[in-house]
Structure 1
Amino acid sequence: MPYDIVELMEEVEVKTGFLPNVFKAMSHRPAEFRAFFAYYNAIMNKDTGRLSKADKELIIVATSAVNRCPYCVVAHGALHRIYSKQPALADQVIVNWKLADLSDRDLAMLEFALAVCRADDITEEHFRKLERHGFDREDAWDIGMISAFFAMSNRIAHFVGLRPNREFYAMGRTARGGREGEAEGA
Structure 2
Amino acid sequence: MSEHPISRFPVPELADMPDDIREMIEAVQEKSGFIPNVFLALAHRPAEFWAFFAAHDALMDKSEGLSKAEREMIVVATSATNGCLYCVVAHGAILRIRAKNPLISDQLAINPAKADLSERERHIIDFALKTAGDSASIVDADLDAMRVAGFDDDEIWDIGAIAAFFAMSNRLANLTSMRPNDEFYAMAR
* TM-score strictly above 0.5: yes
Partner in structure 2 of residue 66 of structure 1: 81
1:107 — aligned with what? Answer: 122
Q: Work out whether residues 20 and 165 of structure 1, in 8 Å CA contact, stay in contact via their aligned partners in 2.
A: yes
Residue of structure 2 aligned with 1:94, choices 94, 109, 118: 109
* Aligned match of 1:85: 100
Q: Secondary structure at the match of 1:152?
A: helix
TM-score, scaled relative to structure 1:
0.90
Query: Which structure is richer in relative contact order (CA contacts within 8 A, separation 6 or more)?
Result: 2
Identity across matched positions, percent: 53
Which amino acid counterpart does residue 85 of structure 2 have in structure 1?
A: P
Counterpart pick for 2:44 among 14, 18, 28: 28
Instruction: Spell out, residue by residue over 1:105-159, the C-alpha distance to the aligned partner (whole angstroms, 9 max, x if none).
Output: 1111111111111133211221122223221111110000000000000000001
Runs of 4 or more above 3 Å deviation: none
Provide, for residues 4-59 of structure 1, a one-character-per-residue CA deviation record: whole Å limited to 9, x for no partner.
Answer: 0000000001110100000011000000000000111111112222x000000000
Amino acid at match of 1:85: K
Deviation readout 1:56-98 (Å, 9 max, x if unpaired): 0000000100001000000001000000001101111111000
For the 8 Å contact 1:74–1:164, the answer to whether it is kept is yes
Among candidates 41, 44, 51, match of residue 57 of structure 2:
41
The answer as to 2:152 corresponding to 1:136 is: yes
Runs of 5+ consecutive residues of structure 1 not aligned to the other structure: 174-186
Q: Deviations 1:147-179 (Å, cap 9, x if unpaired)? A: 000000000000111011000011111xxxxxx
1:19 aligned counterpart, secondary structure: coil
Say whether the 8 Å CA contact 1:25–1:162 is kept in structure 2.
yes
Query: Quick check: 1:167 aligned with 2:146?
Result: no
In structure 2, list runs of 5 or more residues that go unmatched.
1-16
- What's 1:15 paired with? 31
Aligned AA (1:138)? D
The secondary structure found in structure 2 opposite 1:94 is helix
After superposition, residues 142-157 of structure 1 pair within 5 angstroms as: 142-157=158-173
CA RMSD, aligned part only?
0.9
